[in-house]
Amino acid sequence: MPKATINDIAKKLNISTSTVSRALSEHPEVSKKTRDRVKQIAQEMNYRPNIIAQSLQRGHSKIIGVLVPQVRHIFFAEVMAGISDVMEKSGYSVLICQSNEKYENEVKNVETLIQQRIAGLLVSISEETKNYDHFKQILENKIPLVMFDRICSQIHTSSVTTDDYKGAYNIIEHLIKKGYKRIAHLAGFSTMEIAKQRILGYKNALQKYKIPINEKLIIENGLNEEDGAKGFLELYNNLEEKPDAIFAVSDPVAIGAFHEIKKMGLKIPEDIALTGFSNNPNTLMIEPALTTVHQPAYEIGKVAAELLLDKIINKNEEIIQKILSTEIIIRQST
Amino acid sequence: MPKATINDIAKKLNISTSTVSRALSEHPEVSKKTRDRVKQIAQEMNYRPNIIAQSLQRGHSKIIGVLVPQVRHIFFAEVMAGISDVMEKSGYSVLICQSNEKYENEVKNVETLIQQRIAGLLVSISEETKNYDHFKQILENKIPLVMFDRICSQIHTSSVTTDDYKGAYNIIEHLIKKGYKRIAHLAGFSTMEIAKQRILGYKNALQKYKIPINEKLIIENGLNEEDGAKGFLELYNNLEEKPDAIFAVSDPVAIGAFHEIKKMGLKIPEDIALTGFSNNPNTLMIEPALTTVHQPAYEIGKVAAELLLDKIINKNEEIIQKILSTEIIIRQST
């Protein structure tokens, strides 16, 4: 059955299209009787308002976009849960796009979301992204933008992060106090703010305890499981003096290293200690369970969604940067 | 800076808007010189074509929608990876919506996606869904639709599933051959096709080996981790004669039960054997590692995306139902 238009309803009731249109939007100048009659016929004829046309008029839709690296990364899946819960209650639909860690996809996704006339956007940038013009476009188009976790300091907007510096600092301090001496860091690319802060926390904790920084013990690589496996092998095989502990920039990186360590027949934590960052549910499942830094993923999503709604609904143009605190979770891997 | 329109470009060059429009779409009747000039000015003025208006004309966009229960469920995160890889290559953007297992959200998501004029839709239904009118709307709107994994037999469309019946049958046969006698089933709601097929496989395997079916050993519950924890406690605490093995309808359900079993101090597989369904990566991380049925999640996404593109690009209206084969993965939990 083809969809009925406002025209069809007008013809059927022998009234003007503008009366139909006003009746459907509950305009007070149209009598209650006419409004009810129009709505009844609209329902009978399976009329569906053209929401695209409506959002062209209004300038935006009741839809918010979320751009993440990949939902496969359990941290982002958890953040999504927090975002969805808030948006669901406020009657907003959520469209999710994945960059799959590629700059090109990210730019394309931003284009798509702008063209969908989203009411606002939540973003965590890809590993590859070093140019931020696509986010400038978002701001130029006056679309409310909140960044979370993987933010970039070049884009002046509200954001939600966790205290990456302190999380890293505290976990290194824990390792030092446990007696580890050659602590390596499987780092993220320092072009990313979160990776930069974690490297900084690592270095400053070592300096505090007068342990010299050895650049050979730092490998800058990605944030995902395959990067952890690759990074660990590169680090371990190339060093004559092996590290006795590893601080991985993320839990997936730690899990990637974990599998390689097991394959080599090394014991955790006796031969080598291992720590992650995020406290993903699976860090509790491996044996030994992973010492890590708790990042409140669900909370990050919830707070970011609330900040965005405040911009959309209350037109709050203030820039608010929330930094949630982290907590180190000590388990059997250290 | 406000966005430039075709009008602005026309004024600037002192030509008609239709010439600008035709120049931008590379119309051969416009001279190369004019086309180049228009494109240059468009770029300088930061002109952005109104893709919404274009898709209203064309009837659809280069965007496909994916509707899943939740990306937190690692199976769907993996399926998403398969879908994204195919769509990326074909130049389609992917918008993901989550139902969070709620019928109401699913209906709203379908509305949103229709209104976004998506070119096609991939769906795995929520646990709650028992009415399928929203999917009928999709078909009535002539939007290509492919269902995957959680399909419903009432909607006549192409689909990609795995052989749920055989997967369940084979794993029960494995348990019987291992000597387990009281095999319980933490089942999904039998209103769902996948849950129904897995219950059927469970029952038929028992019958084949002349083990009487005991309805008390079957608990119909959800497909997620919390359902597994709850279902296991309900089952275990209410039975005088305890089961010696548990076949969980999904890996998350098995993981939920796993934690409760550990809390009770029971040993797996000595006191009770445990099996799942999907072969999610984390089934390999728990100790003992979980015996499960391998479902090729990435492949399901890839095949579903290919079927959908065939409908969109080649207008293939044929109904194709692909049933991918499963494989049982025997590990230490049985």
A272 vs A286: CA distance, rounded Å: 15
Residues of B in contact with A141 (CB under 8 A): 3
Residues of B in contact with A3 (CB under 8 A): 141
A164-294 in CATH: which number? 3.40.50.2300
Tokens of A171: 């976990």
pLDDT mean over B28-40: 87
Give the model confidence (pLDDT) of B210-259 as tens digits: 999 999 999 999 999 999 999 999 999 999 999 999 999 999 999 999 99
pLDDT mean over A272-281: 95
pLDDT of residue B46: 76
The residue of chain A with its CA nearest to that of B81 is A72
Give the model confidence (pLDDT) of A83-134 as tens digits: 999 998 998 999 999 999 999 999 999 988 888 889 999 999 999 999 999 9
CATH of A61-162+297-325, one of 2.40.10.220, 3.40.50.300, 3.40.50.2300, 3.40.50.1370: 3.40.50.2300
Nearest CB partner across the interface for B80, out of A71, A88, A117: A71
Q: Which residue, chain included where needed, has tokens 């991985």?
A: A248
Whether residues A100 and B88 touch (CB distance < 8 A) is answered with: yes
The residue of chain A with its CA nearest to that of B85 is A100
Model confidence at A289, pLDDT cuts 50, 70, 90, reads: very high
Parts of chain B belonging to CATH 3.40.50.2300 = 59-162+297-325, 164-294
Nearest CB partner across the interface for A72, out of B78, B94, B98: B78
Interface test mutation site (partner B, options A116, A134, A139, A290, max chain B beta carbons within 10 A): A116
In this model, does residue A47 exceed pLDDT 80? Answer: no
DSSP-derived letter for residue B93 is E
**What torsion do the CA atoms of A11, A16, A19, A24 make, to the nearest 10 degrees?**
30
Q: Taking the mean position of all CA atoms in its chain, how far away is CA B130?
A: 17
A66 vs A141: CA distance, rounded Å: 17
Nearest CB partner across the interface for A78, out of B55, B72, B286: B72
Whether residues B93 and A97 touch (CB distance < 8 A) is answered with: yes
pLDDT mean over A54-78: 80
Residues of B in contact with A109 (CB under 8 A): 93
pLDDT of residue A44: 82
In this model, does residue A307 exceed pLDDT 90? Answer: yes
pLDDT of residue B39: 85
pLDDT mean over B74-97: 92
Whether residues B51 and A77 touch (CB distance < 8 A) is answered with: no
Kind and range of the H or E run holding B38: helix B32-44
Of the CA atoms within 13 Å of residue B288, those in its CB half-sphere come to: 20
Q: Mean pLDDT lowest for which of A305-319, B28-42, B75-89, B242-256?
A: B28-42
Note the residue count of chain A.
334
CATH of B6-49, one of 1.10.3470, 1.10.260, 1.10.286, 1.10.3210: 1.10.260
Q: Is A129 on the interface with B (CB under 8 A)?
A: no
A205 vs A175: CA distance, rounded Å: 10
Segment 272-301 of chain B within 8 Å of chain A by CB? 281-282, 285-287
Architecture of the B59-162+297-325 domain: 3-Layer(aba) Sandwich (3.40)
Parts of chain A belonging to CATH 3.40.50.2300 = 61-162+297-325, 164-294
Model confidence at B54, pLDDT cuts 50, 70, 90, reads: low
Nearest CB partner across the interface for B95, out of A97, A100, A285: A97
Model confidence at B23, pLDDT cuts 50, 70, 90, reads: confident
DSSP-derived letter for residue B241 is S
What is each CA distance from A293 to A44, A81, A122, A225, B70, in whole angstroms? Answer: 57, 20, 24, 17, 25
Judge if the upstream peptide bond of residue B252 is cis by omega within 30 degrees of 0: no
Residues of B in contact with A100 (CB under 8 A): 81, 84, 88
A70 vs B81: CA distance, rounded Å: 8
B129 vs B131: CA distance, rounded Å: 6
Residue B235's nearest CA partner among B212, B215, B211 is: B215
In this model, does residue B171 exceed pLDDT 60? Answer: yes
Query: For residue A149, is it left (φ>0), alpha (ψ between -120 and 50) or beta?
Result: left
Q: Is B233 on the interface with A (CB under 8 A)?
A: no
pLDDT of residue A332: 95
Give the model confidence (pLDDT) of B140-153 as tens digits: 889 999 999 999 88
A180 vs A170: CA distance, rounded Å: 14
Give the model confidence (pLDDT) of A245-256 as tens digits: 999 999 999 999
Q: Give ipTM to 2 decimals.
A: 0.71
Residue A247's nearest CA partner among A204, A218, A222 is: A218
In this model, does residue B275 exceed pLDDT 60? Answer: yes
